[in-house]
Structure 1
Amino acid sequence: MKYGIGLFAALCLLAIGFYTGATEHKNIFSEVKWTDIGTLLVTFFGFAFGFFTYFQWLNGKRKEDAYLAAKKYIASIDEVEEHLHELLFQYNHICPAPGVVVENKYVSAKRIEHLNNVWNCLYQARRSLYKSHRELGFWNVRLADSFVEDYKAMNKQLDNISVVCSVLNNQLFHFIESNMENMNDVIQHKNRFDELHKEIHQVTQKRMQCGFKATFSFGQ
């Protein structure tokens, strides 16, 4: 935008210089009609206005793209949360706990298969989150300082929860194949999943409390 204003000022100075020179050597232009001069001025100011309008549009487009990049980052976090909630829902129905009905082997096997699919989807969602975070800088957008630390903490917690899920899914397979012989291990890792899920949820909900404007800083 500042380059457009500078160029517009340069054109104005050029026009002023031309007019000054013309008045000093008015005899040279004695044959020039005022209608021609008027047409020239209208053309010049029309060009200048169009140039200014273009840079205004370009500046607005950049701001729009910056907001879209920020929204994409938020959408990536929402996708991660969605898969985590699905994992929690499935674990709550298959892991042993008071009040949980023991499912038959076939239903449990299908649930474990679904858990593995969701776990893979979570991995892809994390890749999308990484890419959307990386693209913020390209559009001259950055996270507020407190949210930078939250992003780092969330990624660390997601690393931990991925390991826990991988182990827990394997333990659940042996759990239904061995008549619940490894129940204590399943319960232990399920409790660890619950802890990590709660921590991640607290981090992601912070943006809901602070709002969009407090989460990002947009460059000029």
Structure 2
Amino acid sequence: MKSQMKMDYQKIKKRLGYSFAFVFGFFFGISTCVNFTIDAKWTDFVSLAFTAAGVALGYITFFRWWRNKKKDDSYRVSKDYLNALNEVQEVIREIDFQYFYLCPAPGLLVEGDEVSFKRIKQVDQLSHQLYLCRVNLVNAKSELNFWDVNLSAAFEKEHEELLKCLANLKVVMTGLSSQLFHYYKNHSNEYMTEIDRHKKMFNGYLKSIRDILNKRRSLKFDGIFTFK
């Protein structure tokens, strides 16, 4: 559908170009004929000139509108991509918050089982949201390409790395939540080794994701996107 839209723009452009050339040539031919006509008047030439000028003005006005619209759409999809990054940031912040209270740590007050199981359920829902965030990010990148917008060389690699980290983070979350569920269900410290191992991996991927998201602030808008 996207490729069809792009082809439609090209067809409109070509057709209007051909139409302008035809109309201009037609009136030029008529004016030549009139020049050899005995009854030709100067008002005929003025009328032809104004008509040709009107056609030319309409042609120019359309393509100015078309270029401006394409520019506006390019900036719109760029903002959509940044919004997709913001969604990732919000979801991982909430995930980190829930795990902070779920994962046992020295000096941390242990919450009741009911609260802990609610947090685990919330993390499961957030895990699905994280998956959707990754899908939205992929789609937003695809929209950029359609409107002739590219990620800069400096951020293209960060985008690919971010997708990998998000996928890996979700896998680690599955294991961590499973260990935490059994820990609170059985009240046994035998799960602590795996909890600690998964939490370290979680923290590693979380840091990588945050570093990438923070880098977009240092690059700013012009450092993230390139426009054709």
Tell whether the structures are fold-level matches, with TM greater than 0.5. Answer: yes
Counterpart CA distance in 2 for 1:128 and 1:83 is 13
Unaligned runs of 5+ in 2: 1-8
So what's the TM-score if we normalise by structure 2? 0.84
Take 2:192 and 2:172, find their aligned partners in 1: how far apart are those partners?
A: 15
Change (3 A) 1:47 1:17: closer
Q: What is the alpha-carbon distance in structure 2 between the residues aligned to residue 27 and residue 184 of structure 1?
A: 100
Q: Is the 8 A contact 2:27 2:48 kept in 1?
A: no
Give the alignment partner of residue 94 of structure 2, picking from 61, 86, 89. 86
Q: 1:27 to 1:104 in 2, by over 3 A?
A: closer
Question: How far is the alpha carbon of 1:144 from its aligned partner?
Answer: 0.9
SS of residue paired to 2:97: helix
- SS at the partner of 1:99? coil
For 1:26 and 1:75, the matched residues in 2 are separated by 63
Spell out, residue by residue over 1:58-103, the C-alpha distance to the aligned partner (whole angstroms, 9 max, x if none): 0111111111111111111111121111100100111111332100
TM-score by structure 1 length?
Answer: 0.87
Q: Kindly indicate whether residue 133 of structure 2 is the aligned counterpart of residue 122 of structure 1.
A: no
Q: How does 1:141-160 map to 2 (within 5 A)?
A: 141-160=149-168
Identity across aligned pairs (percent)?
33
Partner of 2:52: 44
Secondary structure class of the residue paired with 2:40: coil
Q: Which residue of 1 aligns with 2:112?
A: 104
Paired residue secondary structure (1:164)? helix
Aligned residues: 216
RMSD: 2.6
Indicate the residue corresponding to 2:3 in structure 1: none
CA distance in 2, matches of 1:41, 1:107: 81
- Tell me, in whole angstroms, the C-alpha distance in 1 between the residues paired with 2:217 and 2:18: 43
Aligned residue identity for 1:87 = I
Distance 1:145 1:65, change over 3 A: same
Structure 1 position 173 matched with structure 2 position 161: no
> 2 CA distance for matches of 1:95 and 1:88?
10
